[in-house]
A and B are shown apart, each in its own frame.
Chain A
Amino acid sequence: MNSRLSAITLNTFREAVRDRVLYNLILFVLLLVASAPLFSQISIGLEKLMLVNVGLSSISLFGVIIAIFIGIGLVSKEIEKKTLYTILSRPVRRWEFIAGKYLGLLLTLVVNAVLMTAGFYAALLIFIHSLAGTDARMLIAVYFIVLQFMMMVAITLLFSAFSSPIFSATFAFALFVIGTFGEDLKNFAAMSHGATKYLVTGAAYILPNFASLNVISQVAHEQNVSGQLVLFNTIYALLYSVAVTVGAILIFERRDLK
């Protein structure tokens, strides 16, 4: 990694940390601590299931929210406050700026997810008093969540590269929802006919699909996740994220930054 890219990456990470983004961890821990005993009231034996579901779902949701709220400002804030002027007047290539911002936010989210996962396993130990061998499987769910972050950061960055924060947030969130129902979009395509079928099928492939990255309920029910799924999900998330980031670069390379 060249030194400019790493400098931008680390500065983006530092900004997030100093903006107290990681404070959400406190909320996360509170949520975990509160949820386990609360749900165990409902049904004995469901305690662990609920803890796994609440824990993993929050890791995903907190991350996506952070990705959107920081992501929308990554480029537009630097333009608005003109800090970008002092960056681009240096030997920094525009793609390095975008890539650095991407990696910086992703680093923030990964650190956040790692800390949350540690807290989550701690909660499992405290409330369930043991860790089974199958509990390692939940790390696959966390890994998929990180893959989802990769895609969400790229998507928000794409919008941030050409539009206002409000617009970016709206569209990034819309794509998050659509991606969550990605499998249903494909189903719609299968059920429609004629031109609509081609249109919806095309959209189903171009739009992000997070459905296969969500194995939370699977691991909560202690079902297996196939190695092939891990492999192809990784390839898919990587290629999709880089493609969207390249899209952001393509827009940003041509842009007059008034």
Chain B
Amino acid sequence: MHAIEIRALSKDYPVGFWKRTLRPALKSLDLTIEAGETFGFLGPNGAGKTTTLKLLMGIIFPSSGSATILGKDFLDPEIKRKIGFLPEQPYFYDYLSAPELLDYYAQLSGVPAGVRKQRIGELLSRVGLSDVGNKQLRKFSKGMLQRVGIAQAIVHNPDVIFLDEPMSGLDPVGRHEVRELIQSLKDDGKTIFFSTHILSDAEALCDRVAVIHKGELRGVGVVNDFRSSVADKTEVIWLGAGALRAVEESVVEPHITGDTVRGTVQSADLDRVLDILRQRHARLISVTPIHRTLEEYFLSKTREREKEPVQL
């Protein structure tokens, strides 16, 4: 059984004064996420990440398509006992204290009264908020609120957790803490689906990523592949601009600074290029294999169709 299965999910928003024109916010998304996977949903701002999450949470309704979570229809209220959600830049009832808020959410998720108190105590220490007492949330810092946010998403011990931009707006320390929290959830075997536009977070945490741009799925990749793949390009830097002419055909985008040249060479051409440079008495400074990174993958996916006339 897949943890999440999204089939041809689309959302159009009517726009204009008469609401006659439809602006697609999400175009026929197909996506499958396995149980226990940490899945990154990448895309620039406005790509359709939040729309997808709102659709899955039943906050907005799809124009067409459907999805299942843990094998059940995503709009089935019962399936929502098993999922947790942290919205982007969350705001909580600021007249409540953290334990009150978590108790409220636990009730809504159907956590029995008997276990609520203990679970909330454990949770608060897990997210590092065991010492906040009955302070109202209006006095919380942004980082603390984000930790409360994660706590509310897991207060009912869900199997699948959806996080919308969990690290945005946090300082480096806060980001690190949230990253640790997600890592610990991952270690617990939870399925985590999180959207982000910060690639390093995705690279550090995710098993797989999907790239979405302008409401369209542009590709799905395995993060380990990016790390372990054989470098297909090599960056070469040498002293001796005069030697460039002899290897010009093989060097992509050479940059010349004084007598120093920096360029990229296809790995297959590397030996030949190095031989020629030696023959020309150029002094080699560095030879670095370039791995195909997530960033590059992301950029290639969000750019590749840019020049085509895209119907929007």
Contact = CB atoms under 8 A, between A and B. Distances in A.
B53 to A, nearest CB: 9
A9 to B, nearest CB: 11
Contacts of B107: 3-4, 7
Contacts of A82: 87, 89-91
B57 A85 contact: yes
Given A82-B90, A90-B105, A256 B61 contact: yes
Contacts, number: 80
Interface in A84-105: 84-93
Nearest to A92: B108
A81 B77 contact: no
B60 interface: yes
A222 interface: no
A88 B104 contact: no
A18 interface: yes
Contacts of B13: 258
A91 B108 contact: yes
Interface residues of A, number: 26
A93 B77 contact: yes
Contact of A88 (B57, B89, B90, B152): B57
B172 to A, nearest CB: 25
Interface stretch (B78-86, B226-234, B250-258, B271-279): B78-86
B93 A91 contact: no
A143 B271 CA distance: 94
Nearest to A94: B58
B60 A90 contact: no
A87 to B, nearest CB: 6
A86 B87 contact: yes
Contacts of A7: 104, 107-108
Contact of B83 (A15, A19, A89): A89
B59 A84 contact: yes
B296 to A, nearest CB: 34
Contacts of A41: none
Given A3-B110, A92-B77, A92-B108, A86 B85 contact: yes
Contacts of A254: 61
A86 B105 contact: yes
Interface in B5-38: 13
A83 interface: yes
Given A89-B58, A91-B77, A258-B60, A83 B92 contact: yes
Contacts of B162: 89
Contacts of B77: 91-93
B109 interface: yes
A8, A87, A258 interface centre (most CB from chain B within 10 Å):
A258
B54 interface: yes
List 4 A-B pairs, minimum CB-CB distance, nearest first: A89-B85, A7-B107, A18-B95, A256-B60
